[in-house]
Chain A
Amino acid sequence: MVALATYNQIENILALVKDPEIPVLSIADLGIIRRIETGEDGHPIIAITPTYSGCPATEVIEADIASMLKLHGITDFEIRMEISPAWTTDWITAEGRRKLAEYGVAPPANKGKAALLGQEEIACPQCHSKRTELVSEFGSTACKAQYRCLDCLEPFDYFKCV
């Protein structure tokens, strides 16, 4: 067990690490921190999971976690990448969803397979109309799709459910 003080301290430090592609979100908001635990020799292990297999932000996030911890005087730690269970947008926190919407990115709408199969109702992050249409399944990053609002006519990014 990581000592409680250290655990809280690490958690607070990790909350300062932002997603490089969507800088309003912390990596905690994104739900990619899986665990903080203690290694055999007592150093903390931070287990993280990639969002998409090929997400180029993953390595940047790893480096950012390391430099943020070092900046706060923690030098003896290990970052471990775990792919199983696979990351899901269900792990994005309520706070994260709120921040996404404010930022102009529609947060993932539904949970589960219905969403993955495209039976989604996406609200416009600007005017909240539900009359929206898909422009492209793929947007500026792997995790986003492009939509357009049929009422306010604004194009917007939608954070896809996976």
Chain B
Amino acid sequence: MTDKDMLFDYLLRLGDNSLILGQRLAEWCGHAPMLEEDLALTNIGLDLLGQARMFLSYAGEVEGNGRDEDRLAYFRDTKDWRNLLLLEQPNGDFAMTMARQFFFDSFQYLQFEALSNSTDERLAGIAAKSLKETTYHRRHSTDWIIRLGDGTDESHERMQRAIEALWGYLPEMFDMDAVDEAMVVDGIGADVAALRPEWDEYVNGVLTEATLTRPEDSWSVRGSREGKHSEHLGYILAEMQFLPRAYPDAKW
């Protein structure tokens, strides 16, 4: 891979994370347990979509093959997507959605904080902007983990089940492959492996307050950096990409 290829791949990871999670949250529109949450989830989804657009536009420019944000969002197949496996997992019940959101918000907060100091000015600008939004997202999902964990017997049980169901998807967030390493050496990217202790500290604190038990590290899956995804991504793309693929020249 050339430097340019690596930066392109790195930006896809950031953009795809935001886009796929944003798309998942959009599925809650009109279905959330109450109106305030319907608004919250779609607002968060909108923030993520905005972040994805900035990352993917930049990725397209770096690649230099004339692909813009829409081309990258609508005309790539599963093997070319770089989002974390965690983020494509189905919404499940509200506990599952919140657990996924909480684990990722806690990670993204630290990652954006690190990327705000990137030597790549454009990336630093996107990260600094997005960090403000992620601060609110993390506050929101943290509140729900505590409310549901330290809530009724049923909400506690469901929350515990959700964090266990997702636990094995979390180690992938902190993986460093050749692209990550190269980005760190150049001062462009974040050393995500180094974020783990701070992430653990925050997450452990919230889980304790929520009276939840931190699961054992008994299993893990990974593969997104090589484009190996769970079956769920295909269904997400089918819904998200259908219109522009069926009607490539469609305009709003």
* B139 engages A118 (CB within 8 Å): yes
Q: Is the interface of B mostly helix, strand, loop or mixed?
A: helix
Does B47 interact with chain A (Cβ within 8 Å)?
yes
Within the complex, what minimum Cβ distance (angstroms) separates B116 from chain A? 9
| A53 x B129 contact (CB < 8 A) | yes
The distance from the CB of A85 to the nearest CB of chain B, in whole angstroms, is: 7
- Which residue, of B36, B44, B48, B128, has the highest number of chain A Cβ atoms within 10 A? B36
The contact string, 1 if C-beta is below 8 Å from chain B, for chain A 48-63, is 0010111110000000
Contact, CB under 8 Å: B40 / A54: no
A22 within 8 A of B: no
Total A residues in contact with B, Cβ cutoff 8 Å: 26
Does B125 count as interface, using CB distance less than 8 angstroms? yes
On chain B, the residues within 8 Å of A88 by CB distance are: 132
Complex Cα spacing A118 to B139, Å: 9
Question: Roughly how many angstroms separate A53 CA and B126 CA in the complex, as a whole number?
Answer: 9
Contact: B125 with A142, CB < 8 Å?
A: no
In chain B, residues 16-70, which have Cβ atoms closer than 8 Å to a Cβ of chain A? 22, 36-37, 39-40, 43-51, 53-54
Known contacts: A53-B47, A84-B124, A116-B135. The answer to whether A138 contacts B129 by CB under 8 A is no
By beta carbon, the residue of chain B nearest A142 is B43
Residues of A within 8 A of B121 (CB): 84
Is A75 an interface residue, CB under 8 A from the partner? Answer: no
A138 touching B39 by the CB < 8 A rule?
yes
B136 adjacent to A160 (CB under 8 Å): yes
Residue A141, interface by CB 8 Å:
yes
What's the interface size class on B, roughly?
A: 20 to 34
Q: Of A86, A135, A139, A141, which is within 8 A of B132 by CB?
A: A86
> Closest chain A residue to B141 by CB distance?
A137
* Residue B161 CB within 8 A of the other chain: no
Q: List residues of B (130-157) whose CB comes within 8 Å of A's CBs.
A: 130, 132-133, 135-136, 139-140, 143
Minimum distance in angstroms from A134 CB to a CB of chain B: 9
Partner of B128 from A50, A54, A86, A137 at Cβ < 8 Å: A86
B contact residues around A56 at 8 Å (CB):
46
Partner of B50, one of A54, A118, A162: A54
A138 to B38, CA, bound (A): 9
Distance between Cα atoms of A117 and B139 in the complex (Å): 8
A138:B50 contact, CB within 8 angstroms: no
Q: Which residues of A contact B (CB under 8 A)?
A: 50, 52-56, 83-88, 116-118, 135-142, 146, 160, 162
A sample of 21 inter-chain contacts (CB < 8 A) reads A52-B46, A52-B133, A53-B49, A54-B22, A54-B46, A54-B47, A54-B49, A84-B121, A84-B122, A86-B128, A116-B132, A116-B136, A136-B37, A136-B40, A138-B36, A138-B39, A138-B44, A139-B39, A140-B39, A142-B43, A142-B46
